[in-house]
């Protein structure tokens, strides 16, 4: 054993955790000191700034706002003097009053001096507005008088220039012109002194003309005197207008004075705020300098403590951790001899790590022993895995093969090198030329051209992916088919006696009617012919159903109307049953489409009814019902009122080779084969029986995508129908409905259509056309002209096998008469696989 010596530099009994906590506490204390000093300084600074804002800046802002608005009022006052429109004067005065209202609302009664000033400014604005309105009115009247005087002045000047008038008269008109000019000067003078001077001149000129007694001059003089004299005279109007202007200017000066007082007050507030800001700045600088000193001291102490903690971690903790990590590394690479000393660092975290290493080393040694045992078990399981008779594969979520046993390549007839990891199962089946037939969820049959049949069972894994088990079931399927044939022959034997009896009745009817025809009248002969035809139709129908049932051995699943299948086999079941037993068929009220093997289904129903009849002693009843079960299933119930089954017989009813017949004639495979067929079709079977109260067998079958069988099963496209029997032709025409149908009643006509017309999607031909077995030839001609055409050869006496070339094409099917929806569905399904 190799022991690592680890130095213990600090003899203290304090744990590493406590030492680090003490260092962190000291650092935290230093941080708190720094933070506290910073917070206190910032808090004090913030308080001072808030106080400065509340006491100084806010007041400065209020004062500046007040000053700005008061200045705006004062600036608008001179504009009121120059406005000549009363409306605009009122508008501008309103704006000034609004500004004063804003100032008053801003002050909110905080300063009595400002309230007084604002009241005076409001009064001055009102006075200025009133005086300006009066001035505008007086100015308008003066301008009107000036206009009249200007006209008179020009008229008097024109009269004074007329040379044909006497000189004295022209001098009088000149004086009148001078008086008009004096009055115009007075109307345009801008001060009272000028107006007084013009008034003296006017009086002097008036005295000069008052001595003239001529009527014309006197009337014109009186007119000028009316304009100039009196309360509404020009001189009085001018004096009033100038007086109101002087008073308005005085009001404007008062507004300016009030504005200057407000601005001076704002300036004082601003100066005071500036002084406060300087003082607060000096105080803040002092506080920050004090806090900076505390922070520097705390930072220095924190650095010292951090250096001490780092020295401790580096000198004690790191050295021990390095020793432990080296030991762990050597243990991980397989060195199980490494050890660490005991007794050192007892009680602290390093000591606990030493103890953990020793525990880990002990666990590693135990794990080594477990691994050796597990390797032995894995070798055993691997031998079992590879020696299985079935193929086994583990699949990923995308069906890639993760692992497989040695039997899998042999079972699929592939070389071992072909089955590589990450190869998909579908690729292997394609490489081996296997055909996959889905039976139900998780089950499928794999068919090889050599005739080998492999059953594939696939189950999902809880961790994702799936496990696939492949079993060679070729011999088992052959045995099942042989046993099914035995069962079918047994059923045929039961039917044969009843068929012979029915045919005896039919032949008797034919013989009697032929005898009566010898002496019958024409009317009576027609009735007898009709009776003969009915008897022959009955015989033909029995023969066709019997041949169809006897011929079917192994058919592919087809889409069919379940009601039609159940009602169609009623006559065969009735023939097989004794007369003492009544058969009752109850199809569903709606159409139900299913996909299964019709021959196997008919055999299943016949065998269930035969089993039921054997359980009935004396007279009895058998009921067959088709009942929808939920939205995606349909149930076929076969019920009898026989003796029923005891509980121990019911528990073993599905077991192969188990039979409860007292005479020992049963094979024990009837219900077992029915169960296998129903499960392969994706369904289930349930039996309810009570001793003495009869038995009910329920076959649960999944529905096809649509319950409208006529729509699901009807081919679409161009269809060539070749049939020489008019009744069969009419029947096929009804089944095909609205399809694009082209009919031919002979082989020659059909060959011409196949040769000259465009290709057909489907060809339906009778096997026997006239006296010639021409159906196979028609199928070959159709494939030669269009390999994509789907062909159905129909006959009431179909041979066991079709020609090899047609069978290998995969496009030709044989169909037993009468033609039904199931046969059409088979054609549609074959077409859809292109």
pLDDT tens column, 360-412: 777 777 887 788 777 777 777 677 667 677 877 888 887 788 887 777 777 77
Q: Comparing 530 with 545, which gets the higher pLDDT?
A: 530
pLDDT of 804 strictly over 70: yes
Q: Of how many residues is the chain composed?
A: 834
Q: What is the pLDDT of residue 622?
A: 93
Residue spans of the domains in the chain: they are 342-387, 388-472, 475-554, 555-708, 713-832
- Rounded Cα gap, residues 442 and 466, in angstroms: 10
CA dist 372 to 365, 368, 369, 454, Å? 11, 6, 5, 38
Q: What is the pLDDT of residue 15?
A: 63
Q: Strand, helix or coil at 620?
A: strand
CA dist 474 to 430, 446, 758, Å? 20, 10, 44
Q: What is the pLDDT of residue 708?
A: 47
Question: How would residue 621 be classed by pLDDT, with cut points 50, 70 and 90?
Answer: very high
Q: How many C-beta neighbours within 10 Å does residue 827 have? A: 23
Pairing of strands 443-447, 453-460: antiparallel
What average pLDDT does the segment 36-57 reach?
A: 67
Question: Which ranges of 518-661 does DSSP label H, i.e. alpha helix?
Answer: 522-551, 562-568, 570-576, 598-614, 647-651
2: which strand partners?
Answer: 338
Tell me, rounded to whole angstroms, the distance of Cα 635 from its chain centroid: 38
For the ranges 262-276, 658-672, 680-694, 752-766, the lowest mean pLDDT is seen at: 658-672
Q: What is the pLDDT of residue 555?
A: 43
CATH of 713-832, one of 3.40.50.2300, 3.40.50.720, 3.10.310.10, 3.40.109.10: 3.40.50.2300
- Rounded Cα gap, residues 62 and 56, in angstroms: 10
- Six-digit token pair at 797? 């006496």
Average pLDDT of the chain to the nearest whole number: 75
CATH 3.40.1010.20 fits 555-708, yes or no: no
DSSP assignments along 370-417, one per residue? HHHHHHHHHHHHHHHHHT-SSEEEEE-TT-BEEEE-THHHHHTT--TT
Tell whether the torsion through CA atoms of 256, 260, 263 and 269 is positive or negative.
Answer: negative
Question: How would residue 480 be classed by pLDDT, with cut points 50, 70 and 90?
Answer: low
> In what helix (H) or strand (E) does residue 638 lie, and over which residues does it extend?
strand 633-640
Give 737-788 as a 3 state SS string: CCCEEEEECCHHHHHHHHHHCCCCCEEEEECCECCECCHHHHHHHHHHHCCC
pLDDT of 632 strictly over 80: yes
pLDDT of 218 strictly over 70: yes
Under 8 Å between Cβ of 517 and 525: yes
Q: What is the pLDDT of residue 25?
A: 77
Pairing of strands 401-404, 435-440: unpaired
pLDDT of 35 strictly over 60: yes
Sheet holding 620-629, edge to edge: 581-586, 620-629, 633-640, 695-702, 684-689
Under 8 Å between Cβ of 418 and 401: no
Q: What does the DSSP 8-state code read for residue 314? A: I
Q: What is the pLDDT of residue 195?
A: 80
Alpha-carbon dihedral 29, 35, 36, 38, rounded to 10 degrees: 150
Please name which of 720, 716, 724, 745 lies closest in space to residue 829, comparing C-alpha atoms: 716
Q: Among residues of the chain, what percentage have pLDDT more than 70?
A: 73
Alpha-carbon dihedral 811, 816, 821, 826, rounded to 10 degrees: -20
Please name which of 220, 142, 143, 233 lies closest in space to residue 174, comparing C-alpha atoms: 220
Please name which of 37, 21, 17 lies closest in space to residue 299, comparing C-alpha atoms: 37
CATH of 388-472, one of 3.30.450.20, 3.20.20.140, 2.70.70.10, 3.40.50.720: 3.30.450.20
Under 8 Å between Cβ of 255 and 125: yes
- Rounded Cα gap, residues 236 and 241, in angstroms: 9
């Amino acid at each position: 054993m190799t022991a690592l010596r680890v130095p213990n530099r600090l003899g203290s009994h304090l744990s590493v955790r406590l030492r680090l906590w003490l260092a962190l506490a000291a650092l935290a204390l230093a941080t708190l000191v720094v933070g506290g000093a910073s917070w206190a300084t910032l808090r004090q600074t913030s308080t001072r700034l808030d106080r400065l804002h509340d006491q100084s800046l806010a007041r400065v802002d209020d004062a500046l706002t007040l000053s700005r608005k008061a200045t705006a009022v004062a600036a608008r006052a001179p504009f009121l003097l120059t406005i000549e429109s009363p409306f605009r004067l009122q508008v501008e005065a309103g704006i000034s009053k609004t500004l004063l209202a804003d100032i008053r609302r801003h002050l909110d009664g905080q300063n009595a001096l400002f309230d007084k000033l604002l009241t005076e400014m409001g009064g001055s604005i009102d006075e200025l507005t009133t005086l300006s309105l009066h001035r505008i009115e007086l100015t308008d009247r003066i301008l009107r008088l000036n206009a009249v005087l200007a006209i008179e002045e020009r008229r008097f000047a024109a009269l004074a220039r007329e040379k044909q008038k006497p000189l004295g008269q022209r001098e009088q008109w000149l004086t009148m012109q001078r008086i008009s000019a004096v009055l115009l000067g007075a109307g345009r003078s801008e001060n009272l002194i000028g107006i007084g001077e013009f008034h003296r001149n006017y009086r002097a000129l008036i005295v000069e003309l008052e001595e003239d007694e001529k009527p014309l001059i006197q009337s014109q003089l009186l007119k000028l005197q009316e304009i100039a004299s009196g309360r509404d005279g020009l001189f009085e109007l001018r004096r009033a207008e100038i007086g109101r202007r002087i008073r308005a200017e005085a009001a404007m000066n008062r507004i300016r004075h009030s504005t200057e007082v407000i601005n001076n007050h704002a300036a004082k507030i601003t100066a005071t705020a500036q002084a406060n800001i300087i003082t607060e700045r000096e105080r803040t600088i002092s506080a920050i300098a004090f806090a900076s000193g505390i922070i520097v001291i705390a930072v220095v102490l924190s650095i010292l403590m951090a250096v001490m903690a780092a020295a401790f971690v580096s000198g004690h903790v790191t050295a021990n951790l390095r020793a432990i990590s080296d030991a762990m590394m050597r243990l991980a690479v397989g060195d199980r001899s490494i050890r660490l000393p005991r007794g050192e660092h007892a009680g602290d975290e390093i000591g606990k790590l030493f103890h953990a290493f020793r525990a880990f080393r002990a666990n590693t040694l135990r794990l080594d022993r477990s691994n050796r045992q597990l390797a032995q078990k894995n070798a055993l399981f691997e031998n079992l895995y590879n020696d299985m008779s079935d193929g086994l594969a583990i699949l990923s979520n995308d069906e890639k093969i993760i692992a497989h046993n040695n039997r899998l390549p042999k079972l699929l007839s592939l070389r071992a090198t072909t089955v590589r990891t990450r190869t998909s199962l579908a690729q292997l089946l394609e490489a081996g030329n296997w055909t996959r037939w889905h039976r139900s969820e998780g089950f499928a049959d794999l068919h090889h051209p050599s005739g080998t049949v492999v059953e594939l069972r696939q189950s999902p894994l809880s961790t994702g992916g799936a496990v696939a088990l492949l079993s060679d079931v070729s011999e088992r399927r052959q045995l099942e088919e042989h046993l099914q044939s035995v069962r079918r022959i047994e059923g045929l034997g039961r039917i044969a006696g009843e068929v012979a009896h029915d045919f005896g009745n039919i032949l008797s009817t034919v013989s009697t009617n032929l005898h009566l025809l010898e002496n019958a009248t024409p009317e009576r002969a027609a009735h007898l012919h009709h009776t003969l035809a009915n008897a022959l139709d009955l015989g033909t129908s029995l023969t066709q159903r019997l041949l169809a049932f006897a011929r079917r051995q192994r058919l592919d699943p087809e889409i069919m109307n379940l009601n039609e299948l159940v009602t169609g086999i009623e006559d065969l079941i009735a023939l097989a049953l004794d007369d003492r037993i009544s058969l009752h068929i109850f199809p569903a009220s709606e159409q139900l489409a299913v996909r299964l093997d019709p021959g196997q289904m008919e055999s299943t129903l016949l065998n269930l009814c035969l089993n039921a009849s054997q359980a009935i002693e004396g007279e009895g009843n058998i009921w067959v019902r088709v009942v929808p079960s939920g939205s995606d299933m349909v149930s076929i119930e076969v019920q009898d009122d026989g003796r029923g089954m005891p509980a121990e017989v019911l528990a073993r009813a599905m077991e192969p080779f188990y039979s409860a017949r007292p005479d020992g004639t049963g094979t024990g495979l009837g219900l077992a084969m029915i169960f296998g067929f129903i499960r392969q079709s994706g369904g289930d079977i349930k039996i309810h029986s009570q001793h003495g109260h009869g038995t009910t067998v329920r076959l649960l079958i999944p529905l096809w995508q649509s319950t409208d069988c006529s729509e699901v099963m009807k081919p679409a496209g161009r269809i060539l129908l070749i049939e020489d029997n008019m009744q069969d032709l009419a029947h096929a025409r009804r089944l095909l409905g609205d399809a694009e149908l082209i009919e031919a009643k002979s082989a020659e006509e059909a060959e011409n259509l196949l040769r000259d017309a465009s290709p057909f999607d489907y060809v339906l031909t009778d096997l026997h056309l006239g006296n010639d077995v021409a159906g196979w030839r028609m199928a070959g001609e159709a494939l030669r002209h269009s390999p994509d055409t789907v062909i159905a050869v129909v006959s009431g006496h179909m041979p066991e096998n079709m020609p090899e070339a047609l069978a290998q094409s995969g496009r030709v099917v044989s169909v037993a008469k009468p033609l039904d929806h199931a046969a059409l569905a088979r054609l549609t399904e074959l077409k859809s696989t292109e």
